């Protein structure tokens, strides 16, 4: 009814009942036109209400698990990388960093689009969607250094000759911290 303005007669309908054109008679063309318009309006209203009902139900289920990405201008974010593996260069995508940055939000353009710049604000990185961004939380290096020093002192004081696991773990932490600092400087 909605597509053609009338009920479609299927081949099975012709076999089940004989077609009677006498029952579908109108007094005038104007009467047929007004009846058709009222039928179509009621069908469109029914379709719109069904779509609105489905929209509300889908929004309810979506909002159960959705977290809003709330940031303001000047916040630091990480940008998702989209690398491709390249055997000739010896590069594997799964070993690459998933996010790069940090970048500063220079301007908010709409609900989910953000203009990014480098941290110093000199170079524009472009406009990116919120699905490709993640908030950046800076780890204060002085807090890490103090905690690292106390952990190292505790680890070295408890080390036995047979137990090398604690000293190895502190060496690993030192190398990880050095790599992290090198990444931030680059």
Q: Predicted confidence band at 30 (pLDDT cuts at 50, 70, 90)? A: confident
Instruction: Label each residue of 24-47 as H, E or C.
Output: CCCCCHHHHHHHHHHHHHHHHHHH
| pLDDT mean over 85-89 | 91
Report phi then psi at 60, rounded to 5: -65, -45
> Any idea where the domains of the chain sit in the sequence?
11-65, 76-135, 141-185
**Could you give the count of Cα atoms lying within 13 Å of 9 in the half-sphere of its Cβ?**
9
State residue 161's pLDDT score.
47
Q: Where are the alpha helices (DSSP H) in 66-140?
A: none
Q: Predicted confidence band at 109 (pLDDT cuts at 50, 70, 90)? A: very high
Which pLDDT tens digit goes with each residue over 143-172?
Answer: 455 555 555 545 444 444 444 444 456 666
pTM of the model: 0.47
DSSP tag of 89: T
User: Cα 137 vs. chain centroid, distance in angstroms?
Assistant: 20
Is there a contact between 128 and 82 (Cβ–Cβ < 8 Å)? no
Distance CA 12, CA 15 (A): 5
Average pLDDT score, the chain: 78
Q: Predicted confidence band at 1 (pLDDT cuts at 50, 70, 90)? A: low
Is there a contact between 78 and 100 (Cβ–Cβ < 8 Å)? yes
State residue 17's pLDDT score.
60
Which pLDDT tens digit goes with each residue over 36-82?
Answer: 888 888 889 999 999 999 999 999 998 888 888 888 898 999 999 99
Q: Is the torsion defined by CA of 101, 102, 108, 113 positive or negative?
A: positive
Proportion of the chain in helix, strand, coil states, percent, rounded to 5: 45, 15, 35
pLDDT at 173 over 80: no
For residue 115, the SS3 value is strand
């Amino acid at each position: 009814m909605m597509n053609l303005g009338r009920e479609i007669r299927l081949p099975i309908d012709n076999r089940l009942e004989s077609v009677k054109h006498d029952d579908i008679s109108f007094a005038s063309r104007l009467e047929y036109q007004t009846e058709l318009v009222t039928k179509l309006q009621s069908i469109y209203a029914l379709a719109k209400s069904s779509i609105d009902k489905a929209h509300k139900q889908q929004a309810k289920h979506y909002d159960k698990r959705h977290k809003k990405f709330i940031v303001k201008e000047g916040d630091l974010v990480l940008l998702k990388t989209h690398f491709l593996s390249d055997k000739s260069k010896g590069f594997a995508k799964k070993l690459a960093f998933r996010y790069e940055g940090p970048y500063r939000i220079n301007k908010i353009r709409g609900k989910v689009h953000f203009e990014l710049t480098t941290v110093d604000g000199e170079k524009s990185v472009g406009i990116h969607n919120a699905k490709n961004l993640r908030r950046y939380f800076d780890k204060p290096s002085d807090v890490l250094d103090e905690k690292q020093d106390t952990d190292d002192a505790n680890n070295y004081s408890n080390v036995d000759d047979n137990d090398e696991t604690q000293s190895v773990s502190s060496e690993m932490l030192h190398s990880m911290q050095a790599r992290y600092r090198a990444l931030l400087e680059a």
